[in-house]
Structure formats: structure tokens, C-alpha cells
Amino acid sequence: MTPHKLCVAPMMERTDRHCRYLLRLIAPNAWVYTEMITATALVHGDSERFLRFDSSEHPVALQLGGSDPELLAGAARLGEAAGYDEINLNVGCPSPRVKAGRFGVALMLEPALVAACVEAMQSAVGIPVTVKCRTGVDDRDDYAFLREFVRHVVDAGCRSLFVHARKAWLSGLSPKENRTIPPLDYARVHRLKADFPELEIVLNGGLDTVPAALRELAHVDGIMLGRTAYAEPMLMGELDARIFAEGIHEPRAAVAEAYLEYVESELAAATPLRVMTRHLMGLYAHQPGARHWRRGLGQLVDGKAGLEACRRLLAAQQTGPAAGLRHSGRAAEVPARPTAAH
Ligand SMILES: Cc1cc2nc3c(=O)[nH]c(=O)nc-3n(C[C@H](O)[C@H](O)[C@H](O)COP(=O)(O)O)c2cc1C
């Protein structure tokens, strides 16, 4: 299996198929994850709509939420049949909805049930079943608790683990606060890697610059970025180029042009324009003209007229007074690959 050196985290209302298409244009080697889909929704709902993805997205993983082994196995089967490369179980989300359904991070308190879920899914499919968790939950945040949890999932057949390096509070904090208030503890994830050398461990949480992200690769097998991957997608291009030793990545204008080609084809299939262009908001993050770009995207009308306006916006971004001054100080841009395949 392709190693998980660089990953885009699963994010509800962010990593839909359009966002993943865009990130694939930027970072050719990164793993991308779907938004969490509950096993119930998949098994009893419109699975074809939930599971749609573009063939360029590989390697792409389907993230599932649930705690019923049989239902999860059924959902995993659907994911495999649809062509996903991996099924990931969400054991890290603290939202009230997820808590009420007794899954997400609450499952960390029930390692035997998580193991049963992993086993059931892994027996149902030939693709890898992986787990995404936190370092702890509520007052169960000692290392022994985490190690015991991991022991269960490893014994159940999980070979790759994604750890959001902070605990979650089930009560008192909103999901957003649960992504900022509990402190990050990378050392705990490093210790886990030392204790489970055979387990592929991917660190997630708070990686927001290229140096910080690359530094972690000395301690763990891979890194997973969420908010920064979305807010500054070009940073994923730089990471991809550095990690996979290609040294160069597509400049943002080429990315935008290629994405707008995709948008055009999706418009023809009646996908609303802004469902797709909203993912471009961060493309010029930290660049001159970024605010103008975002404002322009926010004003697009639907359909072909909106697409043409978006193309004009892009052209202005390239030729306006800001052009030639583009240097973020964070994710510096480098020339296009000569054989850019668009
Ligand atoms: C808007 C948003 C939605 C998220 N949805 C999910 C989700 O569906 N499944 C999941 O496991 N984590 C979800 N997360 C958590 C991220 O996957 C990640 O663990 C977290 O944001 C920490 O990484 P970061 O600091 O790089 O953003 C979400 C995060 C955000 C910001």
C-alpha cells in the first residue's frame, strides 16, 4: 500500500469530492480523506451520491462513523465496491451528534468495541481498514490508556493509525474548541511510535507551516493536515514536493486553470458553481491580492456566467499590480513542472 507520508485530514463540509479534486491537483502524492459518512447513512441512504469520486483522487480513503460492527462492515463493503483505497474509522470526533450516536471519540472509552468494528470491517473488505483517534478523552488521558487502546486496534488488524495529538472533552467544549483548547502533545505520539514500531503512525493536529510539518517526519511515519490544508492549499504542494523529492510543484495559476476546467465539466452536469469555487478561497492565502480574490469568489453568480467571471478574476490576479510580487514567506512558489499534465 502507498505509505501515508502526507495526508489531508477528513473534514466535514470541507473535503467533499471537489475539494479533494483540487488538492489532488496541488499535491499529487498525498492521501485524501472524505468527510465522515455514517455507516447508517451509507447503508440505508443514497450511497451512490455519498461515494462519488473522481478517478484522479487516488489514493483516496473513505472515512466512516459508527459503532455497529455489522453496519460498518456493510458500509466498508460499499466503499470497497465503489473503488476506495482504504476505509478509515472515526474515533476522534467529539461533536454532540456523534456522541449521541455513541461513536467518534466516545469510542475510545470502549476499545473492545472498536476492535470488534475493525475486525468486522477488515473481514468484509480486502482494502486496509485504519483508525483515526485522539490521545485521550475526558479524564482518560494517561499514556497507559492510549497504549491499551492502540493495543486493541492493532490486535484487531489495524496497520495504520492517525492520531490527532490532543485529547477531547466530551462535555463542555464545542467541536471547534476541542480542536484548539486541549493542548497538543506530539511527544505522546512519538512515544506511541516507539512502543509500536510495526504500526504506521501518522501525526495530526496543529501542523501549520512547512518546517513544523517536515520536522514531525523524523518521529513518525506520516503527517496529516486539516485546517491548514484547506486554508492554504498550496502549502500541501510544497510539502508534497519536499517529501517526495520532486522539488517542484504546480504554480497556483496552473492549479486554478486546471480546476476551472473541472468546474466547467461539472457545471455541465448541473453541479452548482459555488459548491466548487468555495474551495478556491485559500488558493492565494498570504499572497498580494488575496482579499480581492476571496471577495470576487464570494460574488460569483451560478452557471457559465459565474465561471467566466471566475476566469477573469484569475487573469486579473495574474496580471494585476500584485503579480510578480508573490512571495508568502511560508510556502514559497516554484516553477511549474515542464511536463505539467493538463
Ligand atoms: C471543519 C472541520 C471538520 C472536521 N471533520 C472531521 C471529520 O469528519 N472526521 C474526522 O475524523 N475529523 C474531522 N475533523 C478533524 C480533523 O480531521 C483534524 O483531526 C483536526 O482539524 C486537527 O488537525 P489540524 O490541526 O491539522 O486541523 C474536522 C475538522 C474541521 C476543522
Angular region, 311: left φ>0, alpha ψ -120 to 50, beta rest: alpha
Q: pLDDT at position 246, please?
A: 74
Instruction: For residue 1, name the pLDDT band (cuts at 50, 70, 90).
Output: low
At 68-98, the pLDDT tens digits run 999 999 999 999 999 999 999 999 998 877 7
Residue 341 has pLDDT above 50, yes or no: no
pLDDT of residue 336: 30
Look at the alpha carbons of 327, 329, 331, 337 in this order and tell me if their dihedral is positive or negative.
positive
Ligand 1, atom 15, lies closest to the CA of: 11
Distance from Cα 9 to the centre of ligand 1, integer Å:
6
Specify the pLDDT at position 340: 26
Domain boundaries defined on the chain: 6-243, 252-319
Which residue, by CA, sits nearest to atom 19 of ligand 1? Answer: 164
Instruction: Share the mean pLDDT of the chain.
Output: 92
User: Which residues, listed in sequence order, are joined to residue 88 by a DSSP beta bridge?
Assistant: 63, 130
Pocket probe mutation, ligand 1, options 179, 185, 208, 224, max atoms within 8 Å of Cβ = 179
Choice among 7, 93, 117, 310 that is catalytic: 93
Q: What is the Å distance from ligand 1's center to 175 Cα?
A: 9
The residue to mutate among 31, 227, 230, 236, having the most atoms of ligand 1 within 8 angstroms of its beta carbon, is 227
When pLDDT is cut at 50, 70 and 90, the band that residue 325 belongs to is very low
Fold that domain 252-319 belongs to in CATH:
Four Helix Bundle (Hemerythrin (Met), subunit A) (1.20.120)
Class of the domain covering 6-243: alpha beta
The pLDDT tens digits for 227-256 are 999 999 999 999 999 999 876 777 999 999
Nearest CA to ligand 1 atom 6: 11
pLDDT of residue 326: 40
CA–CA distance, 155 with 59 (Å, rounded to integer): 25
Q: Which atom of ligand 1 is nearest to the CA of 207?
A: 26
The rounded distance, in Å, linking the Cα atoms of 79 and 87 is 7
- Secondary structure letter of residue 156 according to DSSP: T
pLDDT top residue among 122 and 333: 122
Distance from C-alpha of 205 to C-alpha of 181, rounded to nearest angstrom: 12
pLDDT of 310 higher than 60: yes
Per-residue pLDDT at 103: 85
Phi, psi of 286 (to 5 degrees): 65, 15
Residue 101: band (very low, low, confident or very high) from pLDDT cuts 50, 70, 90: confident
Where does ligand 1 bind, in terms of residues with CB under 6 Å?
9-14, 35-36, 63, 90, 92-93, 132, 164, 179, 204-207, 225-228
> What tens digit of pLDDT does each residue of 254-306 get?
999 999 999 999 999 999 999 999 999 999 999 999 999 999 999 999 999 99
pLDDT in tens, 124-158: 999 999 999 999 999 999 999 999 999 999 999 99
pLDDT of residue 322: 52
pLDDT confidence of residue 323: 52
For the chain, the straight-line distance linking the first and the last C-alpha, in angstroms and rounded, comes to: 27
Provide mean pLDDT across the span 43-68. 97
Our answer to whether residue 93 is catalytic in this structure is yes
Residue nearest ligand 1's atom 11 by CA: 90
pLDDT of residue 338: 30
Rounded to the nearest whole angstrom, what is the distance from the C-alpha of residue 96 to the centroid of ligand 1?
Answer: 15
Q: pLDDT band at 21, cuts 50/70/90?
A: very high
Rounded-to-integer distance, Cα 202 and Cα 212, Å? 14
Which pLDDT tens digit goes with each residue over 179-195?
Answer: 999 999 999 999 999 99
Confidence of residue 321 (pLDDT cuts 50, 70, 90): low
